Amino acid sequence: MDRHENKRDMNGSNREPDRLVAHLPDCLKPRHRDDLVRLGSKHDGGYVVTESIIRHTDFVVGLGVGTNWKFEEDFYRLKKCPVHCYDHTISLGLFTMGSVRYTLDLLRPSRISNIRSFYDPVNLLPLKYSAFFRGKIRHFRERIGGGSESETDFKKIFSRIPDGDRVFIKIDIEGAEHHALSGLGDFQKRITGLVIEFHHMIFLHDSVLKIISGIKEFFDIVHVHVNNHKGVDEGGMPDVIEVTFENKNLRRGDDAESGRRYPVEGLDSPNYVVYADFRLVFEPEPANNRIRISSS
262 burial level (CB within 10 Å; 0-12, 13-18, 19+):
buried
Q: CA-to-CA distance for 38 and 51, rounded, in angstroms?
A: 10
Cα(294)–Cα(296) distance, integer angstroms: 6
Secondary structure of residue 19 in the 3-state scheme? helix
The torsion angle over the Cα atoms of residues 167, 56, 212 and 27, rounded to 10 degrees, is -170
How far apart CA 87 and CA 90 sit, in angstroms, is 6
User: Of the candidates 27, 67, 32, which has an alpha carbon nearest to the alpha carbon of residue 50?
Assistant: 32
The angle subtended at Cα 32 by Cα 171 and Cα 41, nearest 5°, is 40
**Complete DSSP assignment for 43-63:** STTEEEEEHHHHHH-SEEEEE
**Which burial class, exposed, middle or buried, applies to 110 when counting CB atoms under 10 A from its CB (0-12, 13-18, 19+)?**
exposed
Q: Note the pLDDT of residue 296.
A: 33
The whole-number pLDDT of residue 121 equals: 66
Residue ranges in the chain assigned as alpha helix (H):
51-56, 70-79, 92-106, 125-132, 154-159, 177-180, 205-215
pTM of the model: 0.85
Contact present, 248 and 219 (Cβ < 8 Å): yes
Q: How far apart are CA 211 and CA 177, in angstroms?
A: 10
pLDDT, position 114: 59
Strands 191-198 and 167-171: parallel
Rounded Cα distance between 70 and 91, Å, is 16
Query: What integer pLDDT is reported at residue 110 of this predicted model?
Result: 58
pLDDT value for 234:
87
Look up residue 27 and give its DSSP letter. Answer: G
**Rounded mean pLDDT for each run of 10 residues along the chain, 296 residues in total:** 41 47 95 97 94 98 94 97 96 85 64 56 87 97 80 94 97 82 90 96 90 95 94 90 97 91 95 91 66 33
Q: Closest Cα partner for 33 from 245, 210, 231? A: 245
